Amino acid sequence: MITLSQTERTIIEASIRDIKDFPKPGIIFKDITTLLNNKEAYSVLMNHLHQRYKEYDLDYIAGIDARGFIFGAALAQMLGIGFVPIRKAGKLPYTTISQKYALEYGVDEIEVHIDAFGDQKGARVLLIDDLIATGGTANAAATLINQTGAVCVECCFIIALNFLDGIKKLQEKTEVYSLIEVN
């Protein structure tokens, strides 16, 4: 299984910008726009993901609204497979299934089209997002994928906030791969 080299990790990590106190005091926001507009870092990242996941015999990539769309759609095209958006409630036009999940204050909801992963059961799906924090969003997304009859074979994150328990919870459900770990 292909993992990131130290040189690749250094290039990607250096391209991510920390924004203090966004969107509220106490949060350090991991800004990946500086990765996307850095052609070397973006290319190192996407080539690595391509090398790793071409061995996985995947049928679809599912990306989480909205930054998961950027990496997920690019990767799906490189692998020659389909891309499925998992969206915030109320955005998808056809019949959906949905999952609610807890936020620090209140709840949120995500949805996927009921037929997004085709007619055949057991489609192999990689779920991707830019970052895992509490894991609430990714857990709900993995549950949705499995509810359609497809299988979430792995969740991939560019950044994992390891001081939160998100990954541990998600690992009870599926494999998890993260490139940059923040302790």
Q: How far is the CB of 57 from ligand AMP (least distance, A)?
A: 26
Q: How far is CA 10 from CA 79, 81, 90, 129, 179, in A?
A: 25, 29, 39, 20, 11
Q: Is 59 in the site for ligand AMP (CB under 6 A)?
A: no
- 99 secondary structure, DSSP code: E
Q: Residue 155 corresponds to which amino acid?
A: C
Q: What own/partner pairs with CB < 8 Å and gap ≥ 24 does 86-91 have? A: 86/62, 86/110, 86/111, 86/112, 86/127, 86/141, 86/144, 86/145, 87/111, 87/112, 91/65
| Stretch near ligand AMP under the rule CB under 6 A, chosen from 27-35, 76-84, 91-99, 120-128 | 27-35
Question: Which CB, 35 or 138, lies closer to ligand AMP?
Answer: 138
Q: How far is CA 55 from CA 62, 70, 74, in A?
A: 17, 21, 17
Q: Is 111 in the site for ligand AMP (CB under 6 A)?
A: no
Is 89 in contact with 98 (CB distance < 8 Å)? Answer: yes
Name the token pair of 54.
């071409």
Q: Is 136 in the site for ligand AMP (CB under 6 A)?
A: yes
Q: How far is the CB of 46 from ligand AMP (least distance, A)?
A: 18
Active-site residue identified among 13, 40, 67, 109:
67
Binding ligand AMP by CB under 6 A: which of 11, 44, 49, 64? Answer: 64
Active site residue 67: yes
Question: Which CB, 116 or 138, lies closer to ligand AMP?
Answer: 138
Active-site annotation, residues: 67, 104
Q: Give the binding site for ligand AMP (CB under 6 A).
A: 27-30, 64, 67, 129-138, 166
